[in-house]
């Protein structure tokens, strides 16, 4: 009996959704960093075994939006809940339920479908028996859950049990994707994600997470080596200098880290060239309109669209490549 269905992963920003999904699938698909709101759009990944297929939709963290673009991202997250068969809510093992969690609970109550509470980061508990029980009781007071599963996404603990529970609530039916399908993201999109992840990790708090990555060129030589040219888009001139670093040192660190990750993905050697451009200010509404019109866009900054494709970077006065655009090969 084959079961196949769609599952939404929801939770506050950076509660561990992307890390959990990467461990379930068995390879890196969604970026992870210490900065909140690093997942910018629905990333569809597929887990397949003899029981059937789980198709995960990882959404931007549901939270009360601070601006129009945030409202749009929350709308995307809530729209996902309408389309799935099961909702998985990832939380931390705490008895404190703040306004963010209460907001998510109110959103989830709108939908009459299986709801699985996943309590993450159990490896951080000093007294698991006491602390985990207390957290479960607190969340049960908040709303009814079909199942509750404790896990450690970072240490890949209890992941198999979570998959077992999810399969129980998926409808019977044939597979939607080929058995070897992992994600509906293209290799270019994943490469862009890996570069952006390295930028966020290396820059930490120096540059806001409102940066984006455009893959300008990506092709494979007959020898197997991948040639990739990518552009990091930042919002201000000051950010550009920080991203490049003294003598190009920071840009080289970002590129080296990204190249290693991309080589692991492609299992081939990679020649990576990075450029840096500055995006002049856009209103949030303009960003939303551009995002809606260009469905091929991949990632967005808080004041920009990311893959407004090369078309936008070339024909619009909004984006300007500085004459001193840094380039570095790794």
62 with 153, same domain: the answer is: yes
Is 178 contained in some domain?
no
11 with 157, same domain: the answer is: yes
Token couple for 222? 């007959």
Region 22-40 average pLDDT: 54
Is 149 contained in some domain?
yes
139 with 234, same domain: the answer is: no
Is 174 contained in some domain?
no
Is 158 contained in some domain?
yes
From 137, 168, 199, the end of a domain falls on 168
Q: Global pTM?
A: 0.56
296 with 192, same domain: the answer is: yes
What is the span of the domain harbouring residue 239?
Answer: 187-329
Q: Tell me, what DSSP letter sits at residue 208? A: -
130 with 234, same domain: the answer is: no
163 with 192, same domain: the answer is: no
32 with 157, same domain: the answer is: yes
CB neighbourhood size of 23 (10 A) = 20
Is 175 contained in some domain?
no
Give the span between the Cα atoms of 67 and 304, in whole angstroms.
Answer: 13
| pLDDT band of 232, cuts 50, 70, 90 | confident
Predicted confidence at residue 328, as pLDDT, reads 45
213 with 131, same domain: the answer is: no
Is 219 contained in some domain?
yes
Q: Which long-range CB contacts under 8 A does 28-32 form with residues at least 24 apart?
A: 28/190, 28/194, 28/261, 28/264, 28/265, 29/182, 29/183, 29/185, 29/190, 29/193, 30/58, 30/193, 31/193, 31/194, 31/196, 31/197, 31/200, 32/197
pLDDT > 90 in the chain, percent: 33
Predicted confidence at residue 203, as pLDDT, reads 86
Region 69-83 average pLDDT: 66
225 with 159, same domain: the answer is: no
Mean pLDDT of the chain: 75
Give the span between the Cα atoms of 82 and 84, in whole angstroms.
Answer: 6
CB neighbourhood size of 125 (10 A) = 17
The H or E element spanning position 118 is strand 115-119
From 168, 202, 231, the end of a domain falls on 168
158 with 251, same domain: the answer is: no
pLDDT digits (tens, 9 = 90+) for 245-254: 999 999 999 9
| 47 DSSP β-pair partners | 54
From 168, 198, 224, the end of a domain falls on 168
pLDDT digits (tens, 9 = 90+) for 255-283: 999 999 888 877 789 999 999 888 764 34
Is 19 contained in some domain?
yes
Predicted confidence at residue 36, as pLDDT, reads 44
* H helix runs in the chain, sequence order: 17-25, 68-83, 99-108, 128-142, 159-168, 187-203, 237-244, 249-266, 284-293, 309-315
Instruction: Find the CATH number of the domain harbouring 193.
Output: 3.30.300.20
CB neighbourhood size of 278 (10 A) = 18
pLDDT > 70 in the chain, percent: 68
pLDDT digits (tens, 9 = 90+) for 151-183: 998 888 999 999 999 999 999 998 887 776 555
Residue 290, pLDDT > 60, answer no
Instruction: Find the CATH number of the domain harbouring 26.
Output: 3.40.50.300
3-state class of 180 per DSSP?
Answer: coil
164 with 191, same domain: the answer is: no
Which among 300, 273, 303, 272 has a CA at the least distance from the CA of 285?
Answer: 303
User: Which position has the higher pLDDT, 251 or 288?
Assistant: 251
Q: C-alpha 84: how far from its chain's center?
A: 18
119 with 231, same domain: the answer is: no
Out of 8-22, 63-77, 139-153, 163-177, least confident range? 63-77
Predicted confidence at residue 245, as pLDDT, reads 92
Q: Determine phi and psi for 108, rounding to 5 degrees.
A: -65, -30
**For the chain, how many structural domains are there in total?**
2
């Amino acid at each position: 009996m084959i079961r196949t269905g769609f599952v939404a992963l929801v939770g506050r920003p950076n509660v561990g959704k992307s890390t959990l999904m990467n461990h379930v699938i068995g390879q890196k698909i969604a970026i992870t960093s210490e900065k909140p709101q690093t997942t910018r759009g629905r990333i569809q990944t597929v887990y397949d075994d003899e029981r059937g297929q789980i198709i995960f939709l990882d959404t931007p963290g549901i939270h009360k939006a601070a601006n129009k673009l945030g409202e749009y991202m929350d709308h995307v997250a809530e729209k996902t809940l309408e389309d799935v068969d099961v909702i998985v809510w990832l939380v931390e093992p705490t008895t404190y339920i703040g306004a963010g969690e209460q907001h998510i609970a109110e959103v989830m109550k709108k939908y009459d479908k299986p709801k699985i509470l996943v309590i993450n980061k159990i490896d951080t508990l000093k007294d698991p028996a006491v602390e985990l029980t207390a957290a479960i009781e607190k969340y049960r007071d908040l709303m009814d859950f079909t199942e509750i599963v404790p896990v450690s996404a970072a240490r890949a603990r209890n992941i198999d049990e979570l998959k077992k529970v999810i399969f129980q609530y998926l409808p019977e039916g044939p597979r939607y994707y080929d058995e070897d399908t992992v994600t509906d993201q293209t290799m270019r999109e994943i490469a862009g994600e890996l570069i952006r992840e390295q930028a966020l990790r290396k820059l930490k708090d120096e540059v806001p997470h409102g940066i984006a990555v455009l893959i300008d060129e990506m092709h494979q030589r007959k020898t197997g080596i991948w040639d990739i040219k990518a552009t990091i888009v930042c919002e201000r001139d000051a950010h550009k200098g920080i991203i490049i670093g003294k003598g190009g040192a920071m840009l080289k660190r970002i590129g080296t880290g990204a190249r290693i990750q991309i080589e692991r993905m492609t299992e081939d050697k990679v020649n990576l060239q990075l450029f840096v451009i500055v995006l002049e200010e856009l209103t949030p509404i303009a960003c939303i309109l551009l995002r809606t019109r260009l469905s091929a866009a991949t990632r967005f900054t808080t004041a920009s669209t990311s893959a407004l494709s090369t078309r936008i970077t070339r024909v619009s006065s909004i984006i300007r490549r500085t004459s001193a655009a840094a380039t570095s090969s790794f």
